């Protein structure tokens, strides 16, 4: 590992943190992931019902964000709260999100809203969710209601978070709701997610245009990995790495950006061709080593507490690949690591942020995943990714040393020799 060197942030880069509604809010029994928890799928037996109680504590959390100096914040809105029954909207829920957005803005924090982050209202899940022929119409109804009521407070939107992860884990491997193992179902889901994004992109721009509001910035958050052959010269490993990259991320990415559907997402351009993103949104965590057609991890590499390789060079590599294809500003919408002792998170932040800045590409946002330790899907409360610790029993928040480091990066607009000596 090389000795850290100081570096400065580009002038127009904002640093912040990201969360998801279901992972932090608590108290909602009306979504697909609460039901999945109740069926016993979570490793530590926890559920989304507790989480971080952010729904009741958002004022405290935003005050803490401001204290950390966060310049931007990616938050989710929970569809199951906003439209608890099909076609029936809860004005008090949307009012709650309005208050949260107002408070963020009052504290100088730029909000980025995620409309869909893995979870569905139970009525939508039971109707077939994104397998259903009605899903695009149903999703757009929710998008219209939400955007129309929040557009005066937010101009930045993520339509769908990690559609490739949602489709793969829920419909190929069956590890996430609805627990299916069906390639044909997964293909329907991928196609419908692409159509939902494209139509939502058009609709959001239409709403802002009708109201004479400054053009919004809209994209989808794309989970990208580096897939490399375990054995560089083995033809099957090379073929496997290329195939997994294409099937997991490349085909869906191109379909959602351009409207030209690619197998296994679909064929043709049912909604016309164009450009349906205003920025490149990358969620990046790790690199996979592919042997044959199975992905794993290279031996003797640095790993986090979940066994994921720590590979900052991959972020720069993927940024360059995506920029070469789409020539749009880059936003790192998630980047973080599971570190139970907060022993290496500061170095993780340093290495990945430096790698991203070092590309020289138009990098506009960097959202650390995550703001505070939360409910981390199948790992429940046992996988801490936050720069703020949360005692789930008492809900006490405590800024970690990595959080102090992040605060100083924002304050100093980069990393200094003094910070290296103190934190790294």
pLDDT digits (tens, 9 = 90+) for 82-98: 999 999 999 999 999 99
What is the predicted pLDDT for the residue at 221? Answer: 99
Q: Can you spell out the DSSP letters for 311-347?
A: -HHHHHHHHHHHHHHH---EEEEEE----TT-SSHHH
Residue 1 has pLDDT above 80, yes or no: no
Indicate the pLDDT class of residue 419, thresholds 50, 70 and 90.
very high
Q: Can you read off the two tokens belonging to residue 113?
A: 């809203």
Residue 2 has pLDDT above 90, yes or no: no
Mean pLDDT along residues 348-362: 99
Domains in the chain, start-ordered, CATH in brackets?
7-423 (3.20.20.80)
pTM (global) more than 0.95: yes
What is the predicted pLDDT for the residue at 217? Answer: 99
Mean pLDDT along residues 128-143: 98
What is the predicted pLDDT for the residue at 267? Answer: 85
User: How many whole angstroms separate alpha carbon 418 and alpha carbon 124?
Assistant: 53
Mean pLDDT, the chain, rounded, equals 97
Report the candidate in 403, 395, 402 with the shortest Cα–Cα distance to residue 58.
395
Q: How many CB atoms lie within 10 A of CB 267?
A: 11
**Choice among 1-10, 29-38, 129-138, 380-389 with the minimum mean pLDDT:** 1-10
Residue 264 has pLDDT above 90, yes or no: no
298-308: pLDDT as tens digits: 999 999 999 99
């Amino acid at each position: 590992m090389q000795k850290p060197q100081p570096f400065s942030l580009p002038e127009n880069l904002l640093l912040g943190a990201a969360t998801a509604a279901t992972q932090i809010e608590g108290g909602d029994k009306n979504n697909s992931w609460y039901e999945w928890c109740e069926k016993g799928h979570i490793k530590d037996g926890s559920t989304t019902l507790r989480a971080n109680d952010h729904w009741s504590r958002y004022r405290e959390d935003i005050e803490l964000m401001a204290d950390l100096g966060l310049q931007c914040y990616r938050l989710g809105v929970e569809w199951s709260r906003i439209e608890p029954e099909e076609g029936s909207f809860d004005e008090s829920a949307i009012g709650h999100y309005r208050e949260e957005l107002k408070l963020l803005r009052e504290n100088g924090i730029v909000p980025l809203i995620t409309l869909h982050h893995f979870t569905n209202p139970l009525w939508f899940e039971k109707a077939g969710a994104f397998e259903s022929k009605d899903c695009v119409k149903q999703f757009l109804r929710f998008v219209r209601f939400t955007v129309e009521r929040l557009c005066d407070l937010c101009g930045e939107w993520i339509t769908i978070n990690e559609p490739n992860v949602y489709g793969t884990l829920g419909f190929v491997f069956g590890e996430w709701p609805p627990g299916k193992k069906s390639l044909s179902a997964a293909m329907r889901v991928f196609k419908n997610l692409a159509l939902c994004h494209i139509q939502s992109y058009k609709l959001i721009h239409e709403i802002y245009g009708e109201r004479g509001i400054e053009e919004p910035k809209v994209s989808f958050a794309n989970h990208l990995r580096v897939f490399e052959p375990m054995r560089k010269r083995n033809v099957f490993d090379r073929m496997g790495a290329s195939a997994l990259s294409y099937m997991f991320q490349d085909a869906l990415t191109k379909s959602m950006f351009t409207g030209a559907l690619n197998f296994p997402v679909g064929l043709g351009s049912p909604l016309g061709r164009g450009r349906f993103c205003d920025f490149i949104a990358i969620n990046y965590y790790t690199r996979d080593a592919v042997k044959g057609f199975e992905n794993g991890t290279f031996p003797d590499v640095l790993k986090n507490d979940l066994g994921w390789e720590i590979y900052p060079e991959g972020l720069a590599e993927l940024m360059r690949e995506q920029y070469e294809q789409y020539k749009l500003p880059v936003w790192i919408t998630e980047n973080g690591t599971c570190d139970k002792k907060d022993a290496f998170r500061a170095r993780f932040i340093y290495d990945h942020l430096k790698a991203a800045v070092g590309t020289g590409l138009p990098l506009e946002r960097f959202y650390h995943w995550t703001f505070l330790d939360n409910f981390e899907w199948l790992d429940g409360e046992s996988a801490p990714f936050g720069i703020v610790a949360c005692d789930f029993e008492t809900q006490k928040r405590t800024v970690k040393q990595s959080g102090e480091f992040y605060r100083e990066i924002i304050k100093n607009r980069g990393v200094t020799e003094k910070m290296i000596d103190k934190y790294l």
